[in-house]
Amino acid sequence: MKNVLLIYPHNFLERNMGTNNRVYKIAEFLKENNCSIDLFACKNFVSTTFDSFSLYNQEGIIDNLYLYDFYETRIFSKKLKTRRTILERIFNVKETIDLDDWVTPKFKEQFKYILNNKYDYIVMFYLYTGELLNNINDKSRKIYFMEDFLSVGHYVSNYSNEVGGPLNSELKRLGYFDDIICISYDEKVFFEKLMTDKSFYFLPHLVNREEKDLDLKNDVDILFLGYDNKYNIEGVNWFLECVLPNLNSEINIYIVGKVTEHVKKHYTNVIKIDFAKDLHSLYSRTKIAICPLLNGTGMKVKVVEAMSYGIPVVCTSRGVDGFPDKFKNGCLVSDDPVQFAELINKLLEDSIFYNSTSDNIRSYFGDILSIERNSSVLVDIFDLK
């Protein structure tokens, strides 16, 4: 049995956003292949709770849970920021802009204590915790799952006014790992050119090919799934303000997830659902999935999940980020709101076009994105043969 430590701040068993689903699928695969899994997560962290963890963990995916109090990081970061501001004013010298660092002395102390369990693999999903591995004398294999291009994401989101400093931080922290697994093919290609001494792998979101429940009515014309991050909020409001006026008036639109909290206006044909427990039923009812994101990095889990059902996807260019092929992947892509609407209208009016698009989606998913095609990456890295 392999002993694995996952370092991930959220309670991913809640499965209430794309990254949580991603981590869940990876943990589920490892568990099914006889791995013992401990989770080192954060209490008092944004948009997550561990109050009912035992209920979420009824499948027994996590063997031991360790919680760091993220309140310590907030206090530590605030003190550090104050100190930097004072030094800048006194010496008129600005410090280098780095990627956010969540690691505090208490965080590191707790991590060292947990390492007494002797893990075969330490797995991390955010480089914000990467400094935990700095100067750690531990023989376990370190694996990083790259879900986002963090330095670029910070710049696009206006969290940083430069890419260089955060990118240098990103490269430094990536250097702590033995294997780097990228959900985005684009990011794999970029980073492996800069770090030729590291092993990079492409691993899309792990999803089985799914079949719709034909007993359910196909009554959801358009589906958008989204957590309340900045990119989803921006994207759904662009869709409602710029695309919706060009759609046939009888079309209904389901917006599902915490992003609904940021849809303030009332639309007669828009149904808002803050949480859907049964995604299989929802996808079974769906005719078209959309991904109208204007910004962001990494592969979009919501797109891959829809594709696993053969559901036609209409998206912006950001919707096919991470795919090895940007043009022949089955998705219908447009950044123009009028054309975006025209693609949706045509899918719902032209059954031949709809079925052809669905077939292309299924074909690309099976050839490139399916779990059957990609699970060997985990088998090889975690030595699960």
Closest CA to 62 of 39, 35, 30: 39
pLDDT value at position 191? 97
Half-sphere exposure (CA, 13 Å, Cβ side) for 281?
5
Lowest-pLDDT range, 35-49, 67-81, 127-141? 67-81
Alpha-carbon distances, residue 66 vs 70, 113, 232 (angstroms): 12, 11, 30
pLDDT, averaged across the chain = 93
Unique residue bearing structure tokens 């999903």: 125
Lowest-pLDDT range, 74-83, 145-154, 331-340? 74-83
pLDDT value at position 87? 60
In degrees rounded to 5, what are phi and psi of residue 69? -85, 105
pLDDT value at position 105? 95
The verdict on 296 and 163 lying in the same domain is no
The domain total for the chain is 2
Residue 156 has pLDDT above 80, yes or no: no
Is this prediction's pTM over 0.75? yes
Let me know if residue 215 belongs to a domain: no
The verdict on 99 and 242 lying in the same domain is no
Helices 301-308 and 351-364, axial angle in degrees (round to 10) = 110
The verdict on 226 and 167 lying in the same domain is no
Higher pLDDT, 83 or 301: 301
Distance CA 247, CA 288 (A): 13
Question: What's the pLDDT band for 277 if we cut at 50, 70, 90?
Answer: confident
The verdict on 148 and 258 lying in the same domain is no
62 Cβ neighbours under 8 A, 6+ residues apart: 13, 27, 37, 38, 39, 53
Residue 321 has pLDDT above 90, yes or no: yes
Q: Residue 138 belongs to what domain range?
A: 2-207+374-381
Residue 383 has pLDDT above 70, yes or no: yes
Higher pLDDT, 98 or 61: 61
Quick one: average pLDDT of 333-355? 98
Let me know if residue 213 belongs to a domain: no
Would you say 147 and 301 are in contact if contact means Cβ atoms under 8 Å apart?
Answer: no
Would you say 231 and 295 are in contact if contact means Cβ atoms under 8 Å apart?
Answer: yes
Quick one: average pLDDT of 98-105? 92
Token pair belonging to 252: 């209904």
Unique residue bearing structure tokens 């492996």: 192
Would you say 3 and 35 are in contact if contact means Cβ atoms under 8 Å apart?
Answer: yes
Residue 211 has pLDDT above 70, yes or no: yes
Residue 143 has pLDDT above 90, yes or no: yes
Let me know if residue 214 belongs to a domain: no
Would you say 11 and 47 are in contact if contact means Cβ atoms under 8 Å apart?
Answer: no
The verdict on 177 and 253 lying in the same domain is no
Computed over its alpha carbons, how large is the radius of gyration of the chain?
Answer: 22
Quick one: average pLDDT of 304-315? 97
According to the per-residue pLDDT averaged within each range, which of 16-25, 31-40, 214-223 is highest?
A: 31-40
The verdict on 281 and 355 lying in the same domain is yes
The verdict on 158 and 249 lying in the same domain is no
The verdict on 186 and 242 lying in the same domain is no
- Find the CATH number of the domain harbouring 299: 3.40.50.2000
Strands (E), the chain: 2-7, 35-43, 64-69, 121-124, 141-146, 179-182, 199-202, 220-225, 253-256, 270-273, 286-291, 313-315, 332-333
**Strand pairing partners for 181?**
145, 201
pLDDT value at position 153? 77
Residue 50 has pLDDT above 90, yes or no: yes
